[in-house]
Amino acid sequence: MEEGHREEEVLGSSLTMEKVAAAKQFIENHYKTQMKNIQQRKERRWVLERKLASSDVPKEEQMHLIKDLEQKETEYMRLKRHKICVDDFELLTIIGRGAYGEVRLCREKKSGNIYAMKKLKKSEMLIRGQVEHVRAERNLLAEVASHCIVKLYYSFQDAEYLYLVMEYLPGGDMMTLLMREDTLSESVAKFYIAQSVLAIESIHKHHYIHRDIKPDNLLLDKTGHMKLSDFGLCKPLDCRTLSTLKENEAMDDENIKDPMDIDSSFPDTNDGNKWKSPREKLHHWQINRRKLAFSTVGTPDYIAPEVLLKKGYGMECDWWSLGAIMYEMLIGYPPFYADDPITTCRKIVHWRNHLRFPEDIKLSHEAKDLMCRLLCDVEHRLGTGGSNQIKAHPWFKDIVWDRLYEMAAAFKPEVNGELDTQNFMKYDEMDTPTSARSGSGPSRKVCNH
């Protein structure tokens, strides 16, 4: 009995010591951060003073600029002290829903500014091991100051949810655009693929890999220019079901009920899974993506083979995804589309046997060459040596890279006012997402015509 009591005392005192150590650490970190902030503030003032001293700016103007900096610094500190929460926003229309939560249009009560608020259920993220992924996304959005990336304005949390408050892009996403247009001309596709190259390049410069680049995550602003985001909220692909994937395993093509991928002929067949022509395959894809509008299940259609095989992968996997999106833009469906996700994954892993271009779709030699050089092994993939390899490809010969965001966009979305959500799917407040799906395509959004 005494022994047990002594153990409890020891345990109690060790827990107390831990709490004391944690409190000490917290206080030290807090003051270390405060000192660092003060030091950085001094340095910023010193840099400005040095710049102004070596310029022709009049003395009075110099004083005004230094005062302006001090004012901004004070305002920033005041903002930092104000703990923002969900009550600071008026919640409006739902524009996205998925496995972890939802995306809503919202208005900041104090400023009246309109944002998109991503609300993620913490318990769901913990169960699915997505905490690191979301932290990386938040850090990326906060770090990368690029006009090609969706801006993050605030992030905060309460007991149940994590909130990311981002800029609202009213033009919808690339998925919606592809649903409206079926296929894009090479010149239109080139505009969006080129903007995607700049967006991917900007995150790679900060040593981030997106890993989930798909049409859902390519958003359009009100002028039709594109920015990279992660609005999908789709449940990540459950890789445990893909444990059967082996690169060196012979693929049983008999089980792949899609003759289009074996040769370019389309034999007549009564098998419902076989598509007799590229047009039929396109039609099937269109029906499927409308059916899957409310699905919360992820898609493997744009995932690189090395990611599926868990071989270890680098930034090159994002360039594969871009190749798959380019194929869908020009041909109408993703390159390894099948009736079920596992077959799609198997096709991606054995891409050599399944990458085909339908004969009735006329594509330039340069477009085909670029797709083949993106949808290939890492060793030969364009972009492995940096984004300049892709920019230098002949398909982009007429692209002026540093003027791309200044020129008129390929399509200008219809946007009537800052609260317009017509380019997003309509969600009922009480809707519950369904998880049923029949094919490998992403949860396509329905256009509101």
| Residue 53 burial by Cβ neighbours in a 10 Å radius (0-12, 13-18, 19+) | exposed
Is the CB of residue 210 less than 8 Å from the CB of residue 401? no
Closest CA to 189 of 332, 309, 72: 332
Query: Is 118 labelled a binding residue?
Result: yes
Is the CB of residue 310 less than 8 Å from the CB of residue 211? no
Indicate the residue type of 303. I
User: E strands, 122-190, where?
Assistant: 152-157, 161-167
The three state secondary structure string of 266-288 is CCCCCCCCCCCCHHHHHHHHHHH
- Distance, in Å, from the CA atom of 395 to the CA atom of 382, rounded to the nearest integer, reads 13
Indicate the residue type of 78. R
Interhelix angle 59-81/2-53, nearest 10 degrees:
160
- Distance, in Å, from the CA atom of 318 to the CA atom of 193, rounded to the nearest integer, reads 12
Contacts within 8 Å (CB) and 24+ apart, 264-271: 264/356, 264/358, 264/359
What SS3 state is found at 235? strand
Positions marked catalytic: 212
Tell me how crowded residue 96 is: count the other CB atoms within 10 A of its CB. Answer: 21
Q: What are phi and psi of 315, to 5 degrees?
A: -65, -20
- Distance, in Å, from the CA atom of 386 to the CA atom of 376, rounded to the nearest integer, reads 16
Tokens 């981030």, located at residue = 208
CA atoms within 13 A on the CB side of 411: 22
Q: What is the full DSSP assignment across 23-76?
A: HHHHHHHHHHHHHHHHHHHHHHHHHHHHHHHTS---HHHHHHHHHHHHHHHHHH
| Residue 105 burial by Cβ neighbours in a 10 Å radius (0-12, 13-18, 19+) | buried
Stated length of the chain = 449
Annotated binding site: 118
